A and B are shown apart, each in its own frame.
With several copies, the nearest count.
Chain A
């Protein structure tokens, strides 16, 4: 049967997502937020989620809607600070002890996700050595470099935004949309991409930026 990973709606793309899922959310600095899928996940209603997202609170991402809807138990991120002087919903939950938070240096965050998708259970990195974020972690000096042991992050669902998908799930990205998306897709059991448009004809081999092997479902949502 001809491979075709296109689904009809963002809602359909959430089929099978369960309570307690570990959810990767791509996007950085305004580019690559899968906001249509985030709304679909909110409407889907899965609870007790762990979000793995660069920022818990970026103003252009709808991640905060999942948090505000009470669907989130824990966030793993490099940023959890709201823009305003007052507290964001996320920060208030954190203050009240109703939210778990794991703060990870952004490069270690990206590398741990890559490791999850690349079959590397753990790695040593010099980043964070000697800081509060290395507290409790194994340290080791390798070739004179003080390092921290970091473990892979794997998850259940990845939500990413791309530009074009073909029916094989191959993706192209506009400008800086890629960011965490490719790594997250590799580390999740179910990887879903919202795209501007899907097409029947394959993307040319040398234009594909993420292989459809890593993508399970794509949904066209327009610009």
Chain B
């Protein structure tokens, strides 16, 4: 029973991006969301390195290592873009000027606690980057992650086991099988893959959840992996 692939998860998250917003996309699956934005939505993608208005990736023959995003991707700029320095960029992030950030995640707790920076790889050096700043500063934090680890353990938990990125910050989670809001009353499942039963979802989720009043099937188009 395969769940959504990476592009499908990114597509689903992209559908919730409102017109006119300023968004920061984390590396990995989140950054793919920019490819799946519904037509007619005019948004600005901000990147931590100071690019306000990231456009599509640069064509290989136009790639310029001076024009990159925070993930070191060579990019283009959209119409109306500008570039600021890192201090100003993080002032923008921490100051609440980013409407939404979509970040990859390891774990999300029912109270919104968020773990996405330290998976405790033995001996490898630490890497926090801008994750904590985004998780604290953006008006809304959305997480994208597989619903379960490769070993089958749940990533949606009563309490995070991995080191936290920030406390009580996640508002919505897009997994490969469900869309889940994090509310004052805990997890609320908004959408679920049609071939996953609610019982199965309970078995795969590490904390209680309720179904949203407008609970509905999670439907995405076929997309390349």
- Report A-B touching, CB under 8 Å: yes
Contact check: which of B20, B42, B46, B90 meets A110 at CB < 8 Å? B90
Asked if B40 is at the interface of the complex by the 8 Å CB criterion, the answer is: yes
In the complex, are the beta carbons of A78 and B129 less than 8 A apart?
yes
Contact check: which of A107, A187, A213 meets B94 at CB < 8 Å? A107
A57 — which chain B residues lie within 8 A by C-beta?
125
A131 — which chain B residues lie within 8 A by C-beta?
132, 163-167
In the complex, are the beta carbons of A212 and B86 less than 8 A apart?
no
Q: Mark B79-115, 1 if CB is under 8 A from A, else 0.
A: 1111111110111111111000000000000000000
In the complex, are the beta carbons of A88 and B125 less than 8 A apart?
yes
The residue among A105, A116, A125, A129 with the most chain B CB atoms within 10 A of its own CB is A105
Asked if B191 is at the interface of the complex by the 8 Å CB criterion, the answer is: no
In the complex, are the beta carbons of B123 and A103 less than 8 A apart?
no
For chain A residues 30-81, which have a beta carbon within 8 Å of chain B? 30-32, 54, 56-58, 60, 78-81
Given contacts A79-B128, A82-B125, A106-B48, contact A175 B66 (CB under 8 A): yes
In the complex, are the beta carbons of B130 and A106 less than 8 A apart?
yes
A120 — which chain B residues lie within 8 A by C-beta?
94
B158 — which chain A residues lie within 8 A by C-beta?
none
For chain A residues 94-125, which have a beta carbon within 8 Å of chain B? 94-95, 101, 103-108, 110-111, 113-114, 116-120, 125
In the complex, are the beta carbons of B77 and A205 less than 8 A apart?
yes
B82 — which chain A residues lie within 8 A by C-beta?
170, 203, 205-206, 208, 211
A178 — which chain B residues lie within 8 A by C-beta?
50, 83-86
In the complex, are the beta carbons of B68 and A106 less than 8 A apart?
no
How many chain B residues touch A (CB < 8 A): the figure is: 62
Given contacts A31-B49, A106-B86, A205-B83, contact A91 B65 (CB under 8 A): no
Give the total number of A-B pairs whose CB atoms are below 8 A apart.
Answer: 221
**B219 CB, min distance to chain A CBs, angstroms:** 25
B64 — which chain A residues lie within 8 A by C-beta?
175
Asked if A166 is at the interface of the complex by the 8 Å CB criterion, the answer is: yes
In the complex, are the beta carbons of B126 and A119 less than 8 A apart?
no
Asked if B31 is at the interface of the complex by the 8 Å CB criterion, the answer is: no
For chain A residues 116-150, which have a beta carbon within 8 Å of chain B? 116-120, 125-133, 146
In the complex, are the beta carbons of A118 and B91 less than 8 A apart?
yes
In the complex, are the beta carbons of A110 and B67 less than 8 A apart?
no
In the complex, are the beta carbons of B65 and A81 less than 8 A apart?
no
Given contacts A28-B49, A107-B130, A133-B132, contact A114 B80 (CB under 8 A): no
Contact check: which of A95, A105, A181 meets B85 at CB < 8 Å? A181
A198 — which chain B residues lie within 8 A by C-beta?
none
**B178 CB, min distance to chain A CBs, angstroms:** 26
B41 — which chain A residues lie within 8 A by C-beta?
1
In the complex, are the beta carbons of B86 and A110 less than 8 A apart?
yes
- Of the A-B pairs whose beta carbons lie under 8 Å apart in the complex, a sample of 16, sorted by A's number, is A3-B20, A30-B65, A79-B125, A79-B126, A105-B128, A106-B128, A107-B48, A107-B130, A111-B90, A119-B96, A126-B94, A127-B94, A127-B166, A170-B80, A170-B82, A212-B80
* A residues apposed to B, CB below 8 Å: 1-3, 28-32, 54, 56-58, 60, 78-82, 87-88, 90-91, 94-95, 101, 103-108, 110-111, 113-114, 116-120, 125-133, 146, 166-168, 170, 174-183, 186-187, 202-203, 205-206, 208, 211-214
| 12 new A-B contacts at CB < 8 Å, known A107-B94, A131-B163, A131-B165 | A1-B41, A30-B65, A60-B65, A79-B129, A80-B125, A107-B90, A116-B95, A118-B91, A120-B94, A130-B164, A186-B97, A203-B82
